[in-house]
Amino acid sequence: MLPRAAKQSLAVSPAHSFDSTTLTEAEIRRLAARFGSPLLVVDCEQVRRQYHALRAALPGVDLHYALKPLPHASVVATLRDEGAFFDLATTGEVELVKAQGIAPERCIHTHPIKRDSDIRDALRFGVTTFVVDNPDEIRKFVRYRKRAELLIRVCFRSPTAVCDLSKKFGCEPGAVLGLIEMARRLGVRVRGLSFHVGSQATDPSKYIEAIQACTNLVAEALLAGLPSLDVLDIGGGFPVPYTDAVMPIDEFCAPIRAALTKLPKHVRVIAEPGRFIAAPAAIAVSTVMGKAKRDGRWWYYLDDGLYGSYSGQLFDHAKYPVAALRDGGELFESVLAGPTCDSIDVIDDSIALPELEVGDLVVGRMMGAYTWASATDFNFFKRAKVVVMNEQPVDAKRVVRLQRAKRVAAG
């Protein structure tokens, strides 16, 4: 038996609140009864909150939401209405923003390695800014030089980030001027620089190092008589609290703001946040579909797992706060497993739970980023159905309700 304090529980909100982080147990049960299981409940109000928190922490920086962590129309539409910009990496993402009526001027294409068809599809939509990090990629733009402009992605290795994205992409800072010179010879315009310090960054020091290096490169390009660099893209990476606390976003961004003041005034600064906006905006609801006692411990088999919404545990190295919607009784060290026949499909092999029954619900929080997006239908277990809440801003809904109430009162 484990101490009672070991149990994680969902925050309980006042009745009728409709916010994914504070949905009551009864509300979650109603959603599961209505829409089935497994579910991913996406809360657009939380998307708004996260977007505005990062805007406030990085004033003057245009935020391009990176679609990859949660490429869902409701998130794109919500951010469209809040005035956000978008970061695309594939033709599928181009199609998604196009379907939501986003103007192409609000989008950039940041995949450093592209097929010609990816470039053509983005250009046909009207995107003109692309990211490259090597000579072969620059050569791909010779035929599009009248329509496309480039950002050079620079690598800043970040062994402390949970996902070090500079391992796979980016050129060394020392190679940047040579690439700009080469692009100039080919008639391709380089507009600026970009970097990504790695996803779920543990502290802001890598951003500072990268901003300082890019500030120097902007000055060196000018001295070398190269075309002026007027864009700096500081990427994504902003962290969120899963099972461990992280620095509050304003504190995290304070030294980044200070470093950005050293850039020449003509440089437009943009960022590509994904996780920070998407992760807190969804919960995953699954159902116990079977149970068995093995080696003295209860194993609970859910209808969602590592091949589904919990795929981020493998691909994204994330550990989500998970709790069962069953209160009371002793807590026992238990195993939560996914539904597939693969033995790797285990969400948690040591979690404190009361004894669960078939049909009980299990809820994972902070599950908006790199979860449903990387889910599969292995074994023909369907990916979680997405349920969207708060598509209208909460205040707007209040206005609509008030107007309705007034109309009713007026007869």
Residues that bind ligand PLP (CB under 6 A): 66, 68-69, 87, 110, 165, 196, 199, 235-238, 272-276
Q: What is the dihedral of CA 53, 112, 221, 105, to 10 degrees?
A: -60
Shortest Å distance, C-beta 274 to ligand PLP = 3
Pairing of strands 322-324, 361-364: antiparallel
Q: Measured from the CB atom, is 195 or 301 closer to ligand PLP? A: 195
Q: Measured from the CB atom, is 196 or 206 closer to ligand PLP? A: 196
Shortest Å distance, C-beta 152 to ligand PLP = 13
Count CA atoms within 13 Å of residue 388 on its CB side: 13
Q: Measured from the CB atom, is 94 or 288 closer to ligand PLP? A: 94
| C-alpha to C-alpha distance for 385 and 34, rounded to whole angstroms | 12
In this chain, which residue has its C-beta nearest to ligand PLP? 236
Shortest Å distance, C-beta 333 to ligand PLP = 33
Burial 334-366 (b: 16+ CB within 10 A, else e): bbbbbbbeeeebbbbeebbbbebeeebbbbbbb
Burial 167-205 (b: 16+ CB within 10 A, else e): eebbbebebbbebbeebeeeebebbbbbbbbbbbbbbbe
Sign (positive or negative) of CA dihedral 221, 226, 229, 235:
negative
Determine contact, residues 282/19, Cβ cutoff 8 Å: no
Which pair of tokens denotes residue 364?
């994972």
Shortest Å distance, C-beta 86 to ligand PLP = 11
- Lookup result for tokens 């998307």: 47
Q: Measured from the CB atom, is 38 or 273 closer to ligand PLP? A: 273
CA distance readout (Å), 278 to 76, 135, 181 = 11, 34, 38
| C-alpha to C-alpha distance for 206 and 256, rounded to whole angstroms | 10
Q: Measured from the CB atom, is 87 or 348 closer to ligand PLP? A: 87
Shortest Å distance, C-beta 285 to ligand PLP = 23
Residues with a known catalytic role: 341
Shortest Å distance, C-beta 193 to ligand PLP = 13
Q: Measured from the CB atom, is 272 or 360 closer to ligand PLP? A: 272
Q: CB within 8 A of 184, min separation 6: which ones?
A: 190, 226, 227
